[in-house]
Chains A and B, each alone.
Chain A
Amino acid sequence: MRAAALTLAVLAALALVPLGADNYTLSLVARAMIFALAAMSLDFILGGAGLVSFGHAALMGIGAYGVGILMEEGTRDALVAFPVAMAAAGLFALLTGAICLKTRGVYFIMITLAFGQMAFFVTQSLSAYGGDDGLTLAARSTIAGQRWLKSPLTFHYVTLGLLAAATGLCALFLASPFGRVLKASKENERRVRALGIDPYPYRLVAYGLAGAFAGLSGALLANLTEFVSPAFLSWHRSAEIIVMVVAGGMAASALRAGGMGRLGGAILGAVGVILVEESLSNFTEHWRILFGPLLVLLVLAGGWRGRRA
């Protein structure tokens, strides 16, 4: 109950941001919402099914490159480009997931990282689309021929709407019998197998879905920055998205509003991490020297809390 309330509260707060915000704040919050979409899609498989993907930035980057490459080839409309970006990232997730899901635990983390790195090096070699230097978009995508995404306000609500819709869909999936199988096989795979259910196809579908939503977030990010580059797919970014999910999950469970796998925490985590990064970097150029220990303290504090409970 409180988990759903947390999700709704964060989304409502995001809906109210444009009241009295300048364009700079709007673009910062749009960035936060885009990462929230990516983090939510990771939480769907990480918290929901126990699959720690260390290649999530690659899925996001494939979505971003989908938009960039299509625009370079003359297709500017979001109604075409966004579904293509989602399909490309989803397909990549399905193909690589079919192999990755044969492994477990740490080996799964590492093999998803391997595929992420492969995608990273492929984008680096795309010399027709900027190669190492990246690709500057001519403009933002149009929607049915209209240049609505140019306005920060419309962009804000389009992003928020997609975030809310994707979160709702993922929550429905997790609450359905499909989601029960995912959750059950996370808790005790042997029992699920004993019931005659093979978790593999369920996990694969979930992985593909998460890939499609990560691709959507990438498509939005490409539009926000009007630029795509191989750095979008770097493993640092994958780690950052994991940080958002785990930190958000810990914060949510501290609020007694569910932990990981309840989606709201990931959204809160992404928005929190982006805002903390931004405010620390306004404070000092060396903001990482503060942000790093903050992460360590968060984990250690979680441990102290756990021991008392």
Chain B
Amino acid sequence: MSTTLLLVQVLNGLQLGVLLFLVAAGLTLVFGVMDVINLAHGVQYMLGAYLMVTATALTGSFWLGLPLALVAALVLGLVLERLVIRPLYGRDHLEQVLATFGVILFVNEAVKMIWGAAPLSIPMPEALSGSIRLMDGLNYPVYRLALLAAGLLVAGGLYVLVTRTRSGMLLRAGATNAPMVSALGVDITALFAKVFAFGAMLAAFAGAMAGPILSVEPGMGDGLLILAFVVIVIGGIGSIRGAFVAALLVGLIDTLGRSFLTDLLKLVLPPSDATQAGPALASMSVYLLMAGILFFRPRGLFPAPA
């Protein structure tokens, strides 16, 4: 395995990590602040990609389509919050799982009926197509670098928003003690609605940005949802910082495991065994990581203060 290949895979891993972070951030906020398990968060990622398909087709441009898709996702998030999530506040976690699982079934099927079951693609913006030479023998697609940069930018913005602004302060206060914040005269229902819709928009942003490099298909959010849950559990529920660290960790381990684990195993196992065990072990690696971390730190890496 050469250094170039390793570098490419590290970049790919970071990029998956950034996508995971965008999805996990909303998930961990909704969970930490509102105490709602939202299984439907994955379909918001998928909806982001599909809205982007339509928005770019309508406007004929990636740059006009993106804000349009994000606004549409925000509105859908508000609608979902009002119709399904708001009645679920304070209810049993299991009932939340049941209701939001229902939303998954509905949206996946609705997407299939509206856009069809076949995979779609989003054209890559002209300015970001092509690749850039990072070092000798290493050309890397510009779009993937842009995706990485955009994700890191959003992460930075989110950090400032949560730690330095008044809304962020209310959000953190709401996570610690929602009834108290409400008693101090803050409209907690409106705050929750904003948090939920904002999280939905972040997930949609991830979907829209991933669209040009992945295929857009029904159910694309389901696998990512499970990984995002792994991320927020490793990071500690409610912690944005934890979600960021865990997302990068999961992205790197998953990507590097898939590319190098089989070769590594060949050093210690007969080749036939290694080719069989390698992919399985690579798919398992993030779950092994999670089980290991939970065993030693049952509340994740950065547990939110109780």
Q: Dominant SS at the A interface?
A: helix
With an 8 A cutoff between CB atoms, is A197 at the interface? no
With an 8 A cutoff between CB atoms, is B53 at the interface? no
Q: Dominant SS at the B interface?
A: helix
A293 to B100, CA, bound (A): 10
Write the nearest CB–CB distance from A253 to chain B, whole angstroms.
12
With an 8 A cutoff between CB atoms, is A303 at the interface? yes
Residues from chain B with Cβ under 8 Å of A10 in the complex: none
Tell me if A117 and B287 are in contact (CB < 8 A). yes
Known contacts A295-B99, A300-B87: A288-B284 contact under CB 8 Å: no
Pick from A146-154, A211-219, A235-243 the stretch touching chain B. Answer: A235-243
Tell me if A107 and B95 are in contact (CB < 8 A). no
B31, closest chain A residue (CB)? A106
With an 8 A cutoff between CB atoms, is B202 at the interface? no
Tell me if B288 and A118 are in contact (CB < 8 A). yes
Write the nearest CB–CB distance from A79 to chain B, whole angstroms.
32
Contact check: which of A118, A127, A302 meets B287 at CB < 8 Å?
Answer: A118
With an 8 A cutoff between CB atoms, is B280 at the interface? yes
Residues of chain A in range 36-67 having any CB-CB distance to chain B below 8 Å: 46, 52
Residues from chain A with Cβ under 8 Å of B101 in the complex: 239, 243, 295
A contact residues, total (Cβ < 8 Å): 44
Contact check: which of B94, B107, B109 meets A242 at CB < 8 Å?
Answer: B94
With an 8 A cutoff between CB atoms, is B194 at the interface? no
With an 8 A cutoff between CB atoms, is B79 at the interface? no
Pick from B56-64, B177-185, B290-298 the stretch touching chain A. Answer: B290-298
Contact check: which of B91, B98, B299 meets A295 at CB < 8 Å?
Answer: B98
Tell me if B104 and A299 are in contact (CB < 8 A). no
Tell me if B99 and A117 are in contact (CB < 8 A). no
Tell me if B37 and A106 are in contact (CB < 8 A). yes
With an 8 A cutoff between CB atoms, is A92 at the interface? no
Interface membership of chain A positions 100-123, coded 1 if the CB is closer than 8 angstroms to chain B and 0 otherwise: 001111110111011101100110
Tell me if A114 and B230 are in contact (CB < 8 A). yes
A286 to B117, CA, bound (A): 12
Tell me if B280 and A125 are in contact (CB < 8 A). yes
Interface membership of chain A positions 288-306, coded 1 if the CB is closer than 8 angstroms to chain B and 0 otherwise: 1101111110111011000
With an 8 A cutoff between CB atoms, is A99 at the interface? yes
Tell me if A292 and B104 are in contact (CB < 8 A). yes
Tell me if A111 and B294 are in contact (CB < 8 A). yes
Contact check: which of B94, B280, B294, B299 meets A52 at CB < 8 Å?
Answer: B94
Task: Enumerate 26 A-B pairs (CB-CB under 8 Å) in ascending A order.
Answer: A102-B295, A106-B233, A107-B233, A110-B233, A110-B294, A111-B290, A113-B229, A114-B230, A114-B288, A115-B291, A117-B226, A117-B287, A118-B288, A121-B283, A122-B280, A125-B277, A125-B279, A127-B276, A289-B105, A291-B102, A292-B102, A292-B105, A295-B102, A296-B99, A300-B87, A302-B95
* Chain A positions near chain B (C-beta within 8 angstroms): 46, 52, 99, 102-107, 109-111, 113-115, 117-118, 121-122, 124-125, 127, 235-236, 239, 242-243, 246-247, 250, 286, 288-289, 291-296, 298-300, 302-303
In the A-B complex, the 4 residue pairs with the smallest Cβ-Cβ separation, listed nearest first, are A295-B102, A292-B106, A125-B280, A292-B105
* Chain B positions near chain A (C-beta within 8 angstroms): 31, 37, 39, 84, 87-88, 91, 93-99, 101-110, 112-113, 222, 226, 229-230, 233, 237, 276-277, 279-280, 283-284, 287-288, 290-291, 294-295, 298-300
